[in-house]
Structure formats: C-alpha cells, structure tokens
Amino acid sequence: MFFDPMYFLFIGPAFLLGLWAQMRIRTTYAVAQRQAAPLSGAAAAKYILESAGIHNVRIEQTHGRLSDHYDPRHKVLRLSPEVYQSRSLAAVGIAAHESGHALQDARAYAPLTVRNAVVPLAGVGSNAGIWMVIIGAILGMNAYLIWAGIALFSCVVFFQVVNLPVEFNASSRAKAQLVELGIVTPNQLTYVNKVLNAAALTYVAATLQAILTLLYLLARFGGSRD
C-alpha cells in the first residue's frame, strides 16, 4: 500500500494539513517565545495545579524539544527544557495545556478516561493492523487476516477521534486558568491562543489521516473474500 498511488490520493489532504500545522506551530511558537511571562513554564504549571487543589502531580523536566506531556499512570507532568525553564508566553501556554490534562484526570473527565483505556489497542493497531492487512494481501487476499488488521486499525481511528475533545478541552482549561490566575493578561492570551490553536491543528490532521487511511483500507481490501 505504501507504493499505491491511490493511498497517497486518500491521505493527501491530511498530509498537507499536517505540513501546514507544523509550519504554523514553528512560526507562532517562535513569536510567543519572544513575549515575556511573569513565570516559567514549570512555575506556571505548579501554580495552576496547586490552585486547583492538586498536590499529587510531580512536575519534571524531560528531554527533547516540545516533548511535553502528562503521564496519568504515574501522575507526572513532564516539560521539555525550553518550556520548563523559559519565562515566555509560549512556555506558560504549553505548560498550562499539559496542566489541563492533569485537571481532566483529577476531575475524571470521561473522554480522557476512554482515551487512556484504548491507548494499548491503538498502539498495537497502528503497526500490527497495517501489517496484517499487507500480509493478508500477500497471502492471496486472506480475508480473515485482512479484516482482523482493519479491525485493529479501527482502534487507532477511535483513539484519534476521542483524543480531539481531550486536547481541545485541555486547551480551554489552560486559557481559562492562565487568565483567572493572572499569569497572562487578556491581551497576552492572543499569543497563547495562536500557539495552542496551531497545536490543535496537528491533532486534527492526525485524526483525518487515520480516518482516510481506514477508508483507503476498506476501499482497497474491504471486498476481499477467501
């Protein structure tokens, strides 16, 4: 399928959207990084969590660029060096977004619970599902193997669809907390908005790519019979 022109026609829109989203992240992040904030990303995250009565989440510095994430299993909020240390609107915006996930976890936000539950299946489906379809096609269009692969890959689509409201909600919580706690002013929030909106586009692109890939698999192999 990786050399099938039909495949690239299917995922073309998602691929282009993803490229544009990455470009938007780079440009908006660079601008927001030059805007000063009163707190570092780590301090902003700590302030947000403590103000919400959350004291069981550790904040750690991790490796990599923009590798920021919240780990619900270990109750750890991990921030990349430039977000952890920097006193910029870009840093506090990203730190607040990840803090939003910790707030979701503490409040048992249903979409987050569903997303966390499906993560193992999505991890398997993203690799094994595609290979099962390919191997099934190589083995003379083995319908059982192909449909098992498509079913596994459907878990990836489900994960991406559920992930969208999780990410949008985390950004909404982040923006509200930043203003309510006085970390940023309403005028400064414009820069944070641009960074988080650009990041949201990457999740939209990933979801679109998963859906279009599933449609491709159904169109290309869905009619297979033993």
By C-alpha distance, which of 110, 67, 75, 98 is closest to 178?
98
Taking the C-alpha atoms of residue 79 and residue 98, their distance in angstroms, rounded to an integer, is: 9
- Count of structural domains within the chain: 1
Residue 223: predicted pLDDT? 64
Residue 172: predicted pLDDT? 95
Contacts of 106 (CB under 8 A, 6+ apart): 52, 54
Residue 197: predicted pLDDT? 94
* DSSP 8-state secondary structure symbol assigned to residue 61: E
Residue 125: predicted pLDDT? 87
Residue 3: predicted pLDDT? 66
Residue 226: predicted pLDDT? 47
Q: Does 226 reside within a domain?
A: no
Q: Does 40 reside within a domain?
A: yes
| Residues of the domain holding 70 | 5-221
Q: Does 101 reside within a domain?
A: yes
* DSSP 8-state secondary structure symbol assigned to residue 70: E
Q: Does 183 reside within a domain?
A: yes
Active site residues: 98
Q: What is the pLDDT of residues 145-183, one digit of tens each?
A: 999 999 999 999 999 999 999 999 999 999 999 999 999
Low-confidence stretches of the chain (pLDDT beneath 70) = 1-3, 223-226
Q: Does 159 reside within a domain?
A: yes
